[in-house]
Amino acid sequence: MAHQPVGTTPRDEPDHLVATAPQRLPLFALLAANAISLIGGTLTLVALPWFVLQTTGSAAQTGITAGFAALPNFLSGVFGGVLVDRLGGKRMSVVADLVSGLGIAAIPFFYLTVGLAFWQLLGLVLITELLAIPGLTARRAILPELAQRGGFRLEQVNSWFEGIQSLALLLGPPIAGLLIAWLGPSQVLWIDAATFAVSAAIVGLAIPGPGAAVMVAARRVRRRFWQELLAGWRFLRADRLLLGLAITLAITNFAGAPFYAVVLPVYAEDAYGRATALGLLISASGAGSLAGALLYGSFGHRFSRRLLFIGGFALADATWLALILPPSLPLVAALLAVGGLAAGPLNPLLVTVRHERIPDALRGRVFSTFSAITAIVSPIGMVITGAAIETIGLRSTVALLAGTSLCAVLSLSFIPVFHQLARAE
């Protein structure tokens, strides 16, 4: 299938084309809204598992909670893509933020008023994450148009957008650790809810609606709901590279998602006994990821995408083995930072590949279906990891996760389709 560059600029043009400040404002507003929302989300990344560990003392229940957080990602990813293409990226982003904010605010509200049973917590976590994938898809879907409007190279804008997640991992966790020590984990969730509201307001007020060309293209392919849904899947199935990437990420997420959502919280409580240690470890990984994403934005187009993808994944997975060593907070933090640096280019690289290969009118559906596939086994990985920690111990579980992910990534060297990662000219 022929590659279709979306919103890119010629390679021999400067990074910043002629554009006025008002034309660039929507892009910077979207980046700011995403940063605020993600920083709030990283507060929850620390506060929620710490809340479960403190109230239940169970690694298995922590894994179940993380599994419920990941559970909606497949279904909302599949069905949410149609909503993104029908509602448009702006409206879908606002709706997703509002639903997530209400869901996360309900956790401390019920806990501090009438009480909160474990099954009720799982339900609220499910609601909070219900539209997370469609919301992320919506923001990614409008990036090419905003990049073109602002006169920026698409790879550069994707590195900024994906790097913001690393920035959030750098700033949010240490703040969360301090806030938990000061206010308690349940109170920190209120702050996360507020960040979703602020993000929704910024997107609603500062981001323009979709351009006329995008709306016309979308109307041309608009059919019945199920036909629209299948159109995204058919496109993804026909593109062997995108399908291969989605399946690969599903396998690696089986191990990677539990590492951050279950393993690190349990390790921090067992080894150091304080939330600030968990915040520092996640922040170290975020610092490395931010540096890696920014370096990719500046220099990544000069290197082999295939080498960056396989090598970055392999090195990042290998650094997980730091948790097997005798507890040393500075050493473990340093190794996780190295892993973050290696993994930093991965998201902007893969999002750029998708932008290049997916037509504008199908972007929401294909992006969302892609994300759904990558998330399909994450909930199972969360639950299995929590149970494994209680059964075979933390260190054995870490070795198993790292080995599984490393084997999956290194096997890509022998699969010809990944040579297609070369950029579209």
50-98 pLDDT, tens digit per residue, is 888 888 888 888 888 888 888 887 777 677 777 787 788 888 999 999 9
Q: How many helices (H) and strands (E) does the chain have?
A: 20, 0
pLDDT at 231 over 90: no
- pLDDT tens readout for residues 278-289: 889 988 988 898
pLDDT at 272 over 50: yes
* Global pTM exceeds 0.75: no
pLDDT at 14 over 70: no
C-beta of residue 265 within 8 angstroms of C-beta of residue 180: no
**Residues 6 or more apart whose Cβ sits within 8 Å of residue 389:** 59, 60, 63, 262, 263, 266, 397
Quote the CA–CA distance of 99 and 87 in Å, as a whole number: 16
Q: What is the distance, to the nearest Å, from the Cα of residue 146 to the centroid of all Cα atoms in its chain?
A: 20
pLDDT bracket for residue 15 (50, 70, 90): very low
- pLDDT tens readout for residues 363-391: 777 887 888 888 888 888 989 999 999 99
Q: Considering only residues 154 and 314, tell me which one the structure prediction assigns the higher pLDDT.
A: 314
- pLDDT given for residue 199 in this prediction: 93
Tokens of 13: 């043009």
Q: Considering only residues 103 and 298, tell me which one the structure prediction assigns the higher pLDDT.
A: 103
DSSP per residue, 74-99: HHHHHHHHHHHHHH-HHHHHHHHHHH
Kindly state the average pLDDT of the residues 343-362. 85
Instruction: Could you list the beta-strand ranges (E) of 32-148.
Output: none
pLDDT at 187 over 80: yes
Domains in the chain (CATH in brackets) are 21-421 (1.20.1250.20)
* Most confident of the following: 56-65, 105-114, 204-213: 105-114
- pLDDT given for residue 138 in this prediction: 87
Coil/strand/helix, residue 16: strand
- pLDDT given for residue 234 in this prediction: 87
